[in-house]
Amino acid sequence: MTLDTVLDIQNLKKYFSISNGLFAKKTFVKAIDDVSFSVKKGETLSLVGESGCGKSTLAKLVNGLIQADNGKIIFKDRDLTHESERGWRPYRQPMQMIFQDPYASLSPKMKVKEIVAEPLKIHHPNMTKMEREKLVQETLYTCGIGYHHLDKHPHEFSGGQRQRIGIARALVLRPELLVLDEPVSALDVSVQAQILNLLKDLQEEFNLTYLFISHDLSVVEHISNNIAVMYLGDIVEIAAKKNLFEDPKHPYTQALLSSVPNIDPKVKRERIILSGEIPNAASPPEGCKFHTRCPLAMDICKKVRPHMQTLGDGGQVSCHLY
């Protein structure tokens, strides 16, 4: 962990027990299975993978919404892994979460100015009404919601505007880390670009650190410094964005990337169609969890789980080919 590391995740594990009846043997879904990564101040690490790979569980762990079974969650030198709800309280302000569907978390009866003022009332009870209103107006304006909208209710806004309000509600507390869980997945492509540009501008202006979760590599291309690819609860590759897009190492990353529309005509990518569905997380394949779908699978892949290796360019990959 270096001085400018904001978030350090070490060997994190989260298993959920499931049972198929009163007397049936319990089985465990390894939702997060020994995951490690870190994010430096002012940077964006994107977590990418198909639905069911564990991304959203990871977001909840990082925000203390659920407890880890093992490993460490270190936020700015403080180990928060086993903190109680009370112990987490001082970190609720600097660590904020943004969801895919802001509408679900915006109270329909409240005016926009009240929605954005609410976190200030909780975290800064001594702030005067005037100070609060000024900060709310400024923050909404910075997020692209003008003064004439302050008295409107959530249903009067478009999906993109509602996401701007969700971002303003997080930003009004001037956080250091934003965990963004599929923040643009519900939006049209043109609106996605506007929200991604807003997030990029805010990152620069407020020196924000982002953990950006998405199922779509093309969405994270613009905003990431580093990208971690997840498969069935594991991180299978972490690399700087440029390296990952130009020279993906893991066969799963190669397959994900082959379906991303190519902007650079010099880079030729052949479409790799993966056979089969993502396996059931309750009974993942032995050895490399990807071997049932991997076009390059070897005999060893069926028996031995590969370990994360650090490569010459600083990237990490978990695959027997390296």
Output the smallest distance, CB 247 to ligand SF4, in A.
Answer: 16
Q: Please state the separation of Cα 120 from the chain's center in Å.
A: 25
State the chain's maximal CA–CA distance in angstroms.
Answer: 68
Q: Do 46 and 212 meet the contact criterion of CB atoms below 8 Å apart?
A: yes
Output the smallest distance, CB 297 to ligand SF4, in A.
Answer: 4
Residue number with CB closer to ligand SF4 (89 or 302): 302
- How distant, in Å, are the alpha carbons of 63, 65, 67, 154, 228 from that of 187? 24, 25, 31, 16, 23
Residue number with CB closer to ligand SF4 (274 or 319): 319
Q: In sequence order, which ranges of 4-128 are alpha helices (DSSP H)?
A: 55-62, 85-92, 102-105, 112-123
- DSSP-based three-state secondary structure for 132: helix
Query: Which residues sit at the interface with ligand SF4, rule CB under 6 A?
Result: 250-251, 288, 290-291, 294, 296-298, 301, 306, 319-321
CB neighbourhood size of 280 (10 A): 11
As to burial, measured by CB atoms within 10 angstroms (0-12 exposed, 13-18 middle, 19+ buried), residue 54 is: buried
Output the smallest distance, CB 236 to ligand SF4, in A.
Answer: 7
Output the smallest distance, CB 317 to ligand SF4, in A.
Answer: 9
Tokens 């005509």 label which residue?
Answer: 265
Residue number with CB closer to ligand SF4 (223 or 230): 230
Distance, in Å, from the CA atom of 285 to the CA atom of 279, rounded to the nearest integer, reads: 7
Residue number with CB closer to ligand SF4 (7 or 294): 294
Output the smallest distance, CB 293 to ligand SF4, in A.
Answer: 8
What element of type H or E holds 289?
none
Q: Do 315 and 236 meet the contact criterion of CB atoms below 8 Å apart?
A: no
Residue number with CB closer to ligand SF4 (116 or 294): 294
Residue number with CB closer to ligand SF4 (105 or 243): 243
Output the smallest distance, CB 294 to ligand SF4, in A.
Answer: 3
Residue number with CB closer to ligand SF4 (213 or 319): 319
Output the smallest distance, CB 316 to ligand SF4, in A.
Answer: 14
